[in-house]
Amino acid sequence: MDRLSALHVFSTIVERGSLSAAAEHLDMSRAKVTRFLAELENWMDTRLLHRTTRSMSLTSAGEETLEIARHLLAMADNLDAIRNKNLLKLKGQLRITSSYSVIDSFLIEVIGEFTGRWPEVSIDIVSTDKSVNLVDSRIDLAIRITNDLAPNVVAKKIGQCRSVICASPIYLEKQGMPVDIQALSQHNCLSFTYFERSVWTFDGPNGVESVPIHGNISANISEVLLAATLRGNGISLQPLAVAQPLIDRGELVQLLPDWKPKTLGVYVVYATRKQVTPLLRAFIDQLSDYMKASPDW
């Protein structure tokens, strides 16, 4: 006997007031409902219902059994909800925008894992270092690295971007190593158009300190600054996640490690909370899980 099914039938008999009404509600024959009840009473070794041709009432054992039955059935419903959530078939398209550095450093990996898990999902990637209007551009999700989000956007912080001061061995051989943080003002510093273009701010042994910088190259695309740094054109600030493999291979040198550049937040940005689809929610969750597990972010 399926005891959970029998408890469900028993609970329905009580709620509907008769075996016939329970049978109609459950789309079963009356004989099958009667058999479920009889098997449950046999297993319990007691009568659960007082039945006459005109009335039906619970025995004391029936009252106790009904309370437990309702509790177990509620638990079963909760388990079914979890199972159904896990079996959810995700499909459709997402349009996602971010800078190329974010796409290359972690986003493409997350997208690959996500589409591998959900083969009916397609993702359109729009690479740009500028903030775009999500509604006008039909963008579902933007990933932005910033500390200056617009007040009207809907965003969730999923990580943080730590940066390091970098130069190539080629540059250091020609220009020498900066001896302290203020010495950066005497070097060719390559700056990002949208972030600290003329002043770099650090947190160091003596607290927060700002350094006026100048250089002959600035760009609105971080990959341009990285390429220029690798070629020996100057010193730049690079995300730790991007720079660390290059430092490990000796292609870049981390400078002044006691001085930490300003940390930025990594955010997912979407148009409205009210229209977050299961597909979008699932992708945001996977991004968040990736960032939590990554020491570089």
Domains and CATH numbers, the chain: 3-86 (1.10.10.10), 92-141+273-293 (3.40.190.10), 163-262 (3.40.190.290)
Place of tokens 């986003």: 107
Which residues are CB-neighbours of 3 under 8 A, at least 6 positions away? 40, 43
pLDDT by position in tens, the chain (length 297): 688 899 999 999 998 889 998 999 888 999 999 999 999 999 989 999 998 877 889 999 999 999 998 888 888 877 765 665 555 678 899 999 998 888 988 999 999 999 999 999 999 999 887 777 787 788 999 999 888 877 777 889 999 999 999 999 999 999 999 999 999 999 999 998 867 778 999 998 888 999 999 999 999 888 899 999 999 999 999 999 899 999 999 999 999 999 999 888 999 998 776 668 889 999 999 999 999 888 777
**Joined tokens for residue 42:** 């046999």
From residue 73, give the alpha-carbon distance in Å to each of 6, 61, 69, 136: 11, 18, 6, 48
**Residue 123 CB burial class (10 angstroms; 0-12, 13-18, ≥19):** buried
**Joined tokens for residue 170:** 């080629």
Q: Are 190 and 225 in contact (CB under 8 A)?
A: yes
DSSP 8-state secondary structure symbol assigned to residue 105: I
Place of tokens 């059994």: 65
Which is nearest to 202 in space by CA: 216, 212, 187? 212
Beta strands at 92-98 and 121-127: parallel, antiparallel or unpaired = parallel
Task: Report the alpha-carbon distance of residue 191 to residue 212 in Å, rounded.
Answer: 11
Cα torsion 226, 263, 256, 188: sign: positive
